[in-house]
Amino acid sequence: MNQKVKSDGMFQYIETGGDGEVLMLLHGLFGALSNFTDLIDYFSKRYNVVVPILPIYTLPREEAGLGGLLEFTKRFVEFKEFRSMHVLGNSLGGHIAQLYALDVPNKVKSLCLTGSSGLFESGMGDGYPRRGDYDYIRAKTEVTFYNPAIATKELVDEVFETVNDRNKAFNIVLTARSALQHNIEDQITKINCPTLLVWGNQDTITPPFVGEKFKELIPNAELHFIDKCGHAPMMEVPNEFNEILETFLTSLD
């Protein structure tokens, strides 16, 4: 990925540009731009792929959580003057994507959720992260994937550095608790846009039954499972994930 992060006012983001439709990607609690490298490279020829860096670690404590991140996303979209978008979210990013689709439905042409929270999740947010315990952080990072080798030293170091920043770690806890407490089962039946659900069969954070429940509740949804895959299919099996997403997006054309 050769895209550079742009800084514009209060926003930092990647934008591939071009005349295609907007494909906005929302990352998870420990997500980073690197989570979407293969996806960005694959779709940048046909879409204007946009990835805002969500201020999970930097929001004031009174704003930390889903509410503050939703408002940030709405401000970003207004700032960019996007009128219609395909919105994709992984993990916490999927939770925000659902809330956005419910709050501003006229701007969401389609929705893609992969390993999304919103109904049930089991992750690092169940307590204060163990600062200074590298082996613990490595194990927690590895459990994200079916193949633990995907959790490279570079990725583990990035998570370790984040949780060892006291202010960032506090925001992580506040945001994770906000997600756990904000179950939207009674709301997502109102999501009417075409919705793609892509789930790893070995996802232990949002297990396969979560994907099945989303399929049951969202009226216009289709569900795909990928075997030998954990919580982040776009990282672990990018080729298969991209093919599923491309077929879905092409069907909308």
Least confident of 81-90, 156-165, 228-237: 156-165
Average pLDDT, integer, range 86-112: 96
Question: Which tens digit of pLDDT belongs to each residue from 144-154?
Answer: 999 989 888 98
The reported pLDDT for the residue numbered 245 is 98
| CB 33 within 8 Å of CB 53 | yes
Phi then psi dihedrals of residue 252, to 5 deg: -75, -30
Sheet of 195-200, strand order = 6-8, 11-15, 48-52, 22-26, 85-90, 108-114, 195-200, 221-226
The reported pLDDT for the residue numbered 118 is 87
Domain 6-122+183-252 has CATH 3.40.50.1820: yes
Is the entire prediction scored with pTM above 0.95? no
The reported pLDDT for the residue numbered 167 is 83
What token pair was written down for 193?
A: 């846009």
Question: Which tens digit of pLDDT belongs to each residue from 155-206?
Answer: 888 888 888 887 887 788 888 888 878 888 999 999 999 999 999 999 999 9
Question: Which tens digit of pLDDT belongs to each residue from 12-62?
Answer: 999 999 789 999 999 988 777 778 999 999 999 999 999 999 988 888 878
